[in-house]
Structure 1
Amino acid sequence: MPELPEVEAVRRAIHLNCIGKKIIRSVIADDVKVIVDVSRSDFEASLTGKTIVAAHRKGKHMWIQLDSPPFPSFQFGLTGEMYIKGVAAAKYKRSSVKDIDNWPSKYSKFFIELDDGLEVSFTDKIRFARVRLLKNPAYEPPIFALGPDALLEPMTEDELFKSMSKKKTSIKKLILDQGFISGVGNWIADEVLYQSRIHPLQIASSISKEQCAALHKSLKEVIEFAVEVNADYDRLPADWLCHSRWGKKPGKINGHKIEFIEAGGRTSAYVPELQKLSEDQAAKITIKTLTKSSKKSKGEADEAESEDEEIAYSEKPKRGNRAQSNSKRPPIKRKSHKKLNEDSDDDDEDYMEDEVVKGKAVKKAATTKKTKGSKENKKPSARKKSQENEDESESDDSGIDEEWEEEKRVQVKGKMEVDKKVQAGGHTKTRAK
């Protein structure tokens, strides 16, 4: 997913190409999952006629400042991307929208045309991004709850050591916490821990001053260099772990074997020969190496979180039953996810795999509870149990099919509406001439 360097590359592109230009037309997708708490008509009315005066970023969030509020804010999620027509986009390692010849993309959620003819589109293929309209983004959720920005507000070495000394969680989980440091995601976390020779499961409070100094140095150097090359992975140093970590494929770096474990709820790449746990901690835990086919247990699935760790700082659902209804949605099959996002990286697949396991765990718990509460309380016969399993399977498939069909309906409807508005704008220009 886009992390700090990728989002900063987008911010810089907006700054270089859009500042001082007026928005003459806007098209917002009819997608209430991505477009948060505002109707498309109100969103479009708030943009049209406004002038872009600045582009800001904190952590993995970005917002565009206009000559008057409210301002559009973007939480990129797993596959959110910003395109400026005619301007080279940042080369995301896991770009989901490969072909933008069909402009704007059918996955466009936010589209604006500027007074010089320049066009900007924010796309999201799997609809995990969030686009908001906020009066003062820096002081509203979810941005106001973020910790210091890893690039703009870095902690000093002493501040970092003092903060870590109070934390009894693993260092990988801590630096992924957007309330602790904002902008660090999974690939950056793995990279800085590898370069500072710290095991991802090392308890933060047990890290020595020397290790903290190495971590502080790596955080600064990795983020600054990635930003300097505009998040172009091909320009990152060849001896960085990031070139070998995607895909969970067996490999080596500088002659040392790379292994994959779960740390901080995320699939984590590390080099056991160089990143070692302290003797005390090594004696207390068992490290389970993950492979491409590894399946997570229920407990591990419950711990797993989205790539977008800052989701914990988003607004709570306004309706009391919303969270409950979401938790009972049928799990998404891996096959369906691949249809929707064939080009996603395995890190993104890990996220969906976690969601599948969570969904199965919820359904299993519900089935168990229902059985225990039955009046007869007898063990079902083999024939009855088989029939129940068949019925349950059919029910699951039905729910998945409905969800997939709804996904397609939303995408087709959004594409038709965006195309219609874009074409209408073109006809208007022709008549004016």
Structure 2
Amino acid sequence: MKIIKNILFLVVLLSTLQGFSQEILTKKEALEIALENNFGVKIAKNNLEVAKNNKSIYNTGFLPTASISSGANYSNNNQTIDRQDGTSTSIDGAITQSYNASLNVNYTIFDGLGRKYNYQQLKETYNLTELEAKETIENTYLQLFTNYFQIAKLTKNKENLNEALSISKKRLLRAKYQYEYGQSTKLELLNAEVDVNNDSITLINANQLLSNAKRGLNLVLGIEKEVNYTVETNVDFTNILNFDELHQKMITNNTTLKQNEKNIAISEFNIKVNKSNYLPSLGLSTSYGWNKSQNPATSFLAASSSNGLNAGLSLSWSLFDGGSTKTNIANSKIALENQQILLEQQKITIDNTLKNTWENYQSQLFIINAQNKNVITTQNNFDRSKERFKLGQITSIEFRQAQINLINSKTALNNAKFDAKLTELQLLQLSGDILNVEF
């Protein structure tokens, strides 16, 4: 008996020490780590930086271009010159040298408004990329807390299983005492041992599920972390508005809908960019140049040099390009119509999703209240059964059933709380409010 007591004491002591040594990962800390290290968030930030570079004034064609060019030429030839009076002159190694340098500036004064619309299109593309990055962060929020609350749920369930195992161990110890003193049968002892073994196996499986869930959270966090940490298990619900206000927020703030609106704006500018090809373009070019040459004796001039400013305007107008502009405009109009159809489809889809999620959320809140009552009832029933079992008024099977009912009701309440919280987060994402939640 002393050995059994020592073993039970050691198990309780080790569990207590383990609890004290574990690090607590809070929701706020987990969110900060994910926003810093999550792979999807990193890629979204890089894509946003690319879009920012693309919408820069340097990528629009509004600025002039400037270049410098220079060159030098050298020739060494044998030359013979025949004159009109019949005389001739021959020179071996006639050297000719020439040098040039110029600064050139070109500027498009008018291009049919194409670069104006292209610039506006690039700005809308940047806004779209911002929304895509926001959606990635929203999805990371949801994925993060889905994993986080899964760990919290499994942790609470594990506590329930620990409680069940503790009750079963105490019952086993009682059965051993009673059997040794002839107060119960061998069957009672064997039943108690089977229940301890079953509860131990269930607890081991729960530990494995918990470790797996923590590794899944590590993946979302984007870090390698030992799975011996714990998480916050409290569940605080947000004061969600009524459905009409939630629906209005969805129409105004839903990230998916706003992305499609940006796609429509981009398509509209694409039509204008293509239409600009019907208009003429006007360009300005200017240069400042310097030239110098040194000629052999056979040349009329011994040397020459020049420098000065040159400028010119150029006008071009494509009267007919084989119909490519017309085709591009027609196709861009169809692309715009497709984006408008897609927006209507998304509105209906997201609206239905919001309604389904809202009803599911209301049902889960009701289930939480019902499960709370079940826990109170099963707890009272278990307490009464425990006393009656001690007095020998009920069998071990009846006591075990009361124990199972209590653990099942606590687990069901625990699952209902975390399921409702995840549904709440889905509602906040649909309404575009998930990034505003305080954790």
Which TM-score applies when normalising by structure 1? 0.20
Task: Point out which structure has higher relative CO (alpha carbons under 8 A, 6+ apart).
Answer: 2
